[in-house]
Homo-oligomer: A and B are copies of this chain.
Amino acid sequence: MALRTYEQYLQSLRDMRPNIYKFDELIEDVVAHPATRNTVVGHGQSYKALGDPAEREIMTTTSHLNGEPISRYLSIIRSSDDMIANCRLKRHMFHLSGTCTGGRCAGWTAINAMFATTFEMDAKLDTDYHDRFLAWLADAQSRDITISGALTDPKGDRTRPPSMQDDPDMNLRIVERRDDGIVVRGAKVMICGIAAANEIFVLPGSSYKETDRDYAVSFVIPRDIDNLTIVETRRPSDNRETEEGFDIPVTEGGITQAYLFFEDVFVPRERVFMAGQHEFTGTAVKYFIAPYRAAIGGCVAGQGDIKIGAAVLAARTNGLSSKVFSDKITQMCINNETTFGLGIAASVMGSQHPSGAWICDMLLSNVNKVHVATMPYETSRLAQEITGGIGETGCIPSYKDYTSEKYGHLVRKYLKARSSAESRTRAARLVEWTTIGPGVPGCMHGGGSPDGARMFVRAFSDLDKKVEMARRLAGIDEEISEPAGKKK
């Protein structure tokens, strides 16, 4: 099959067992239900776009397994060019959907992390994980499925490792090992795009020691597997999704973030890619982090482009030229291109893994993560500043009021400015949606915390080399070692 149509994608979602809930209700059809419809449409852009040759160029590549055309989201990144294409694709997907389509990208990253990790595992442990993985991958490519990635465990008390928690389930773990597979219990939380996914790729949430080996587990499962219960979180202003009108102005995309509860889920052997090899959990995490934190620069740049466009649009509906806000727009552009550019740089400065995978530069990826956790906030603030009070908190009557028979004419009369009331409202609502509304993605902590990234920056910066360079330049012969402790 190779590449599915949009309609085939939607049908594949309809065909699955309903196991997603929100507001204490089972969502029978994720394609139609207002709580999940927008995210399905957003993810679906990656299928819909294939009719256009320019889009197809961005969205697809060739399988290194068999030379078939496949979605990039199912490809192994084998060169800096592949990785640059990743950054571009993510920026583009934000342009199309206005927000995060994490149900494809985290899965993609997970695939790549385990491609390299299983290769290393097999090389060192003489296991057959890599072959299992490749068999599954070839099949996944041929089915052109959408795959979410799931890392984050509930974690419980942050200061204690998994096996020292009061409740051992606070991190996802193997509770039974069978010849034909494993049984897992626990949860993965805040997982993006589950409702739009066909399968879920699970990775360990952290680096574990030997005592925590039951938590060293990676596998892939159908989203509707038995004993898996999924609850969608509520997000800012999510009730508006159930309403008519343009209080949520965007119908081309949307985010969902879910809690996944594994109540003794059985995973067949051929879908298990790690089961107890704690010494490779750090490896898997590292290979996840590197491309994720590079490419996310494209994500926030893509939404940044929308924020700029929306703010200028809003200003123009008010009668104000973009020239009035020239310095703010320039700063927003600088923020966008900085995160996008650093993603490109992390891609280019990467290196080839023995498996054939391309591993992004850890220093630049993590530098980018820190920017991703700060710059979009400034961009949002500037978008709100340009838009004015109606953008800052979306300070506009609701669509119900806008169309009220009693006083809707007054609302519309006074919302009109240089442009129509509807255009002005929609533009302001888009600024609200991207800066303080349901379109805000969880980019700060998605893929790990900024403080974690800062630790990597510090670790990969080779401080001693810098000190040596300075010592040489300063003409100092004396050895100047690091003092033992902090000042008391």
Contacts and interface: CB of A to CB of B under 8 A. Distances in A.
Given A327-B454, A342-B342, A389-B446, 18 more contacts: A21-B407, A22-B397, A156-B417, A157-B418, A158-B319, A159-B320, A305-B466, A305-B469, A312-B463, A321-B487, A333-B367, A337-B367, A340-B345, A341-B345, A377-B377, A392-B442, A423-B476, A426-B476
A462 to B, nearest CB: 9
A248 to B, nearest CB: 10
A348 B342 CA distance: 11
Interface in A295-351: 305-306, 308-310, 312-313, 316-324, 326-327, 329-330, 333-334, 337-338, 340-342, 344-346, 348-349
Contacts of A322: 463, 482
Contacts of A323: 485-486
Contacts of A180: none
Contacts of A263: 410
Interface in A226-257: 229, 231-240, 246-247, 249-253, 257
A123 interface: no
Instruction: Give this chain's copy count.
Output: 4
Given A385-B373, A389-B445, A426 B466 contact: no
Contact of A327 (B327, B417, B463, B478): B327
Interface stretch (A52-60, A132-140, A195-203, A429-437): A429-437
Interface stretch (A141-149, A268-276, A398-406): A398-406
A107 interface: no
B159 A398 contact: no
Contact of A483 (B257, B418, B485): B418
24 contacts: A24-B403, A157-B318, A158-B417, A159-B418, A159-B485, A169-B414, A187-B414, A233-B397, A237-B238, A237-B239, A306-B469, A317-B480, A319-B483, A320-B487, A321-B487, A337-B461, A385-B444, A385-B449, A389-B445, A423-B476, A426-B476, A427-B474, A429-B474, A430-B474
Contact of A458 (B156, B326, B449): B326
Given A21-B406, A430-B473, A157 B341 contact: no
Interface in A433-488: 436-437, 440-442, 444-446, 449-451, 454, 457-458, 461, 463, 465-476, 478, 480-488
A473 B392 contact: no
A374 to B, nearest CB: 7
A246 B475 contact: yes
Contacts of A247: 234
Contacts of A384: 444
A120 to B, nearest CB: 26
A480 B158 contact: no
A286 interface: no
Contacts of A461: 308, 329-330, 333, 337
Given A84-B348, A313-B480, A483-B321, A236 B377 contact: no
A183 interface: no
A230 to B, nearest CB: 9
Contacts of A330: 454, 457-458, 461
B377 A259 contact: no
Interface string A19-62: 00111100000000000000000000000000000000000000
A472 B94 CA distance: 13
A395 B229 contact: no
Contacts of A341: 341-342, 345-346, 349, 364, 367-368
Contacts of A417: 154-158
A102 to B, nearest CB: 12
Given A233-B396, A385-B450, A423-B480, A413 B95 contact: no
Given A344-B348, A466-B312, A320 B483 contact: yes
Determine which residue in A95, A159, A420 has the highest number of CB atoms from chain B within 10 A of its CB, and name it: A159
Contacts of A317: 480
A6 interface: no
Interface in A165-207: 167, 169-170, 187, 189-190
